[in-house]
Amino acid sequence: MNPKQDHELHMPVSASEVVKFVKSPEYTPLTVRALARKLRVPDEQYADFRNMVKMLISQGRLKLGKGGKIRPPDVKRLVVGVFRPARAGYGFVKPNPSEEVPWEEIFIPAQFVKDANRGDEVLVQITRIPHRPGKYPEGRIVDVIERARTQFVGTYFEVDGVGYVRIDGTVFGEPVYVGDPGVKGAKPDDKVVVELVRFPQPGVEGEGVILEVLGRKSDPDVDLKTVIREFELDEEFPEDALEAARAVAQSYRPSRRGKRRDFTNEVIVTIDPRDAKDFDDAVHVHREPDGSWILQVHIADVAYFVKEGSPLDREARKRGTSVYLPGTVLPMLPEVISNGVASLQEGVLRYTKSVIMRFSKTGTPLETEITPGLIKVTKRLDYDTVLDFWHHPERYEETIPPEVRKMLMDMRELAALLRKRRRERGFLELELPEIELELDEHGQFVAAHVRRQDESHQCIEEFMLSANEAVARYLDDRGVVFLRRIHPNPDEYKLRQFATFVRALGFKIRNPQDRFELQRLLDRTRGTPFERPVHYMLLRSMKQAVYSPEDEGHYGIASDAYCHFTSPIRRYPDLVIHRILDRIWRRPNWHPDVAELRTIGEHSTFTERRAESAERELVKLKILRHLNENLGMILHAYIRAIEEVGFFVETEEIPVDGFVHISSLADDYYRYDHKSRTLTGVRTGRVFRLGDRLTVQVVHVDMDKREVDLRVVDDKPDMEAGRPVAGASATKRAQRYEASSSRGKKKKR
């Protein structure tokens, strides 16, 4: 046995663990003796540990610095990564995974951003490496390797007979020159699509070419066109994809013959939003005589219709996901598939991939079977109807068959068991409601609602989570590499920052790495004015979930094996999982191309985030247009972020982010405290804190920059939500909420 293997066999830490620790962002250079103490190496093994460190230094895996302190090896001074700008002009670069550097991000000062734009792949020269944990290295952008986009949407205007375009948002501070006036028939205040041929940078004017005129800036119909062009979304399917979809739909002849398991005699329901058109999941639940539970989750067999490499598949892969925008849907698959032959419609034969799970009386998973299936949905239901049925079952004796009514009650009970078990496992239940808009036939704003997950939504969510997890374990047990849905563990430094934040609000938290303590904190804040800021900041402390073949688990739902399988009509990664199942059923020893899975995962992650951003942006545009037409509107709001120059709030009646500038707080001179993230009046002592509920007035809307300016119109923090007057300590405020909450629970008992 060689010395290296011997050391790694008997030492309490391996050589690779030592290198990983020294390369971590939190590491502070230590002597060999101090490093051994830090890693809890017993005194009798110190000599072996010192020899291991010497060996690592000789291999170049560690570096001996001044004062005999151990440091990480010199990292590359040139790093390739993706640029993310901040509204103040500076930005950050996230190194590509292949770079293997010890930082999550590199800070780029405003003067060194050059002409990089959001999403661009850039080459960065590191100019300063930090030695304190939690600090970012600094760098300057040397070159833009690849542009994320070159087409932008903006508002056309003219100055002295010359055409310019003011690009929407805050990406570019200055307008872009587009040459002679009236190109493409553009008129002042038209929304246009422009291709940039020279990106603006400090001291250099940007230049572009108008490609398309979308319409008048004041026309509500232009909002949808703006977002579609801005995010480069596909409206129309290419003809070859449409022809392929029509051909496969016309040839579909479902049959009870073949290798599919027949579920057509089972009671099966779909539960979806009332206006849904594509139904890709259906469920059946019953209880066995021994008290165990059977859950069947039937998923549309989209892989049967979309063959790998076909024109239909190429277009689905390119789109990655369906995009749900207010008033319209841009589907991943043509409607003849998504709303037609693949959709699990009531009363018709449909092909499925079916997951049959057996659970114990208490919800512990016991067995799983996955098989191609044939179903006929017994009843199509919607979330509102199911929720109302659970509260008033007598109303549905004539409209819902008795066997379906019984199963709905069983579904409710099983879902509650599964949810309880998931919480016991450490599932983090974040309350981050989505905004749902009502628009009229002209695309005008009518109303906005906060869409929360009620019990009927949670029931189906539990069943889909269980099916996704069951499929992932099924593939794991067979040693198959597959496209996982992973959510890496959060960075410890960011969790410590989150703990500092919530302590400033008055909540006790000892160990932010303890997911059960985090869940208790989420529960304590739920239903209070602290709910949104605390849940939002915890989300900000976490990494984003991605698609990848890497086995890293899913932190948010406390699962070590998870994939997306249940929505193949609208998500390409789910379709990939269906194909993997087909392959291993035909050839048990088959293994997929891991590099190909990684490529699909990266693209699917990109298209998913693009779709989410597009939806948020269109919602924002519709709300801003409404506020711009109703300046002076009074709204309730809560503070979600505080800076030196003012604070951001989210309004309640019409959910939108707005900014209250410190100059509008005319009653006093306010000072910012970075540690507590508060603004305090020097004379009055009035304090603005995260989570404070206020009454604000809309004073200005900038449709081009997509910003709202507000001012506070109340004399003191709003009392309707039970908030004490300014000046009470955050700790006392949190204690009062917890006390009042517990008193309310006692009354209910």
Q: For residue 497, what pLDDT band results from cuts at 50, 70 and 90?
A: confident
Mean pLDDT confidence for 177-199? 92
Higher pLDDT, 729 or 389: 389
Classify burial at 228, counting beta carbons within 10 Å of its beta carbon; exposed 0-12, middle 13-18, buried 19 or more: buried
User: pTM, whole model, 2 decimals?
Assistant: 0.81
CA distances from 171 to 95, 224, 708 (A): 21, 20, 17
Q: For residue 32, what pLDDT band results from cuts at 50, 70 and 90?
A: very high
CA distances from 123 to 104, 172, 312, 350 (A): 15, 21, 37, 51
Give CATH 2.40.50.140 domain extents, the chain: 78-146, 626-746
The CATH code of the domain at 151-219 is 2.40.50.700
Residue identified by tokens 């490529």 is 599
3-71 CATH pick, 3.30.450, 3.30.110, 3.60.21, 1.10.10: 1.10.10
| Cα(283)–Cα(720) distance, integer angstroms | 43
3-state DSSP call for residue 570?
Answer: coil
Mind listing the pLDDT tens digit for each residue in 253-274?
998 777 899 999 999 999 999 8
Q: Is the pLDDT of residue 220 over 50?
A: yes
Q: Which residues contact 127 (CB under 8 A, 6 or more apart)?
A: 112, 138, 139, 140
Mean pLDDT confidence for 415-440? 86
Q: For residue 404, what pLDDT band results from cuts at 50, 70 and 90?
A: very high
Level-2 CATH architecture, domain 78-146? Beta Barrel (2.40)
Print burial letters for 174-198: b (CB count within 10 Å at least 16), e (below 16). Answer: ebbbbeebebeebeeebbbbbebee
CB count in 10 Å sphere of residue 610? 17
**99 DSSP 8-state letter:** G
| Cα(692)–Cα(505) distance, integer angstroms | 10
Mean pLDDT confidence for 557-568? 95
| Cα(420)–Cα(443) distance, integer angstroms | 42
| Cα(256)–Cα(107) distance, integer angstroms | 61
Confidence (pLDDT) at 465: 96
Partners of 702 in the β-ladder: 707
Mind listing the pLDDT tens digit for each residue in 42-92?
988 898 899 889 888 876 678 888 888 998 876 667 888 999 887 667 899
Q: Is the pLDDT of residue 743 over 50?
A: no
Confidence (pLDDT) at 11: 62
Confidence (pLDDT) at 352: 97
The type of residue at 735 is Q
| Cα(297)–Cα(268) distance, integer angstroms | 9
Mean pLDDT confidence for 635-654? 88
| Cα(146)–Cα(561) distance, integer angstroms | 35
**CB–CB of 625/223 below 8 Å?**
yes
Give CATH 1.10.10 domain extents, the chain: 3-71
Mind listing the pLDDT tens digit for each residue in 95-116?
887 777 778 889 999 889 888 8
Mean pLDDT confidence for 423-434? 83
| Cα(154)–Cα(189) distance, integer angstroms | 9
Confidence (pLDDT) at 723: 33
Q: For residue 731, what pLDDT band results from cuts at 50, 70 and 90?
A: very low
For 282-313, give the secondary structure using H, E and C. Answer: EEEEEECCCCCEEEEEEEECHHHHCCCCCHHH
Q: Give the closest residue to 461 by CA, choosing from 422, 512, 410.
A: 422
Q: Is the pLDDT of residue 202 over 80?
A: no
Mind listing the pLDDT tens digit for each residue in 277-299?
889 999 999 999 999 999 999 99
CA distances from 687 to 5, 520, 719, 737 (A): 60, 27, 15, 18
Treating both helix axes as pointing N-terminal to C-terminal, what angle do 572-586 and 311-319 enclose, rounded to 10 degrees?
130
Q: For residue 735, what pLDDT band results from cuts at 50, 70 and 90?
A: very low
Higher pLDDT, 641 or 198: 198
Partners of 341 in the β-ladder: none
> Which pair of tokens denotes residue 449?
């609602």
Higher pLDDT, 200 or 744: 200
Confidence (pLDDT) at 17: 84
Task: State the maximum Cα–Cα separation within the chain, in Å, rounded to a whole number.
Answer: 85
Q: For residue 721, what pLDDT band results from cuts at 50, 70 and 90?
A: very low
Confidence (pLDDT) at 87: 66
Mind listing the pLDDT tens digit for each residue in 694-714?
999 999 999 988 999 999 996
For 313-327, give the secondary structure using H, E and C. Answer: HHHHHHHCECEEECC
**582 DSSP 8-state letter:** H
**48 DSSP 8-state letter:** H
Print burial letters for 503-524: b (CB count within 10 Å at least 16), e (below 16). Answer: bbbbbebeebeebeebbebbeb
Residues in the chain: 749
Q: Determine how β-strand 151-159 pairs with β-strand 78-85.
A: unpaired
CA distances from 332 to 199, 319, 448, 609 (A): 32, 6, 26, 15
626-746 CATH pick, 3.50.30.30, 3.40.50.2300, 2.40.430.10, 2.40.50.140: 2.40.50.140
Q: Select, from the ranges 148-152, 637-641, 738-742, the one with the highest average predicted confidence (pLDDT).
A: 148-152
Q: What is the residue-averaged pLDDT of the chain?
A: 87
**62 DSSP 8-state letter:** S
Residue identified by tokens 């009454």 is 695
| Cα(548)–Cα(493) distance, integer angstroms | 24
Mind listing the pLDDT tens digit for each residue in 600-635?
999 999 999 999 999 999 999 999 999 999 999 999
Give CATH 2.40.50.700 domain extents, the chain: 151-219
Phi, psi of 304 (to 5 degrees): -65, -35
